[in-house]
Amino acid sequence: MRLDIACEQMLPNAIEEVWSQLTDAGAISNWLMATDEFRPEVGCRFRMERMSNAGWVDAEVLEMQAPRRMVWSWSVGDGNPPSKVTFMLGREGEGTRLRLRHVGEFDAATAAIFRDEWPGRIKALAEVIGRNKGNG
């Protein structure tokens, strides 16, 4: 099944604050999935531990244009080729518009999980950034 999800969130934070949460392994572990292997560089291969069901996501940084765009390959071991997750940031006033797009082939159950989970993960990212700003 073809999956093409697009999520968008306006954040009241500077683009550099948002970018730092997208490109730090500890931050990714807080808002997405646990990882300690992520590095913000093209070619970095990393694993994330899935929260909703057992297993791993194998990923690789394919593109990096700080602080505006990052693309990951994303494989859940379902026999389909890796999908792509793209994070795009744009300045809007004093805030940042975050756009996320996830495109690939998945079985229907996995596609449904992504459709249901990505909006919540973006909300979690916004909450983590808000907490960090309150502590700074």
Q: Considering only CA atoms, which of 59, 62, 65, 66 is closest in space to residue 28?
A: 59
What is the rounded distance in angstroms from the CA atom of residue 72 to the CA atom of residue 74?
6
Write out pLDDT tens, residues 52-73.
666 899 999 999 999 999 999 9
Query: With contact defined as beta carbons under 8 Å apart, do 23 and 70 qualify?
Result: yes
Q: Considering only CA atoms, which of 106, 102, 99, 129 is closest in space to residue 117?
A: 102
What is the rounded distance in angstroms from the CA atom of residue 43 to the CA atom of residue 104?
20
Q: The sheet that has 45-49: what strands, in order across it?
A: 2-11, 95-105, 83-92, 69-75, 56-65, 45-49
**H or E segment at 57?**
strand 56-65
Find out whether the peptide bond into 67 is cis, omega within 30 degrees of 0: yes
Write out pLDDT tens, residues 3-46.
999 999 999 999 999 999 999 999 999 999 999 999 999 999 99
* pLDDT band with cut points at 50, 70 and 90 for residue 76: confident
Domains of the chain: 2-135 (3.30.530.20)
Q: How far is CA 112 from CA 26, 61, 87, 90, 134, in A?
A: 27, 24, 20, 28, 34
What is the rounded distance in angstroms from the CA atom of residue 65 to the CA atom of residue 61?
11
pLDDT for residue 136 is more than 90: no
The pair of structure tokens assigned to 8 is 């968008």
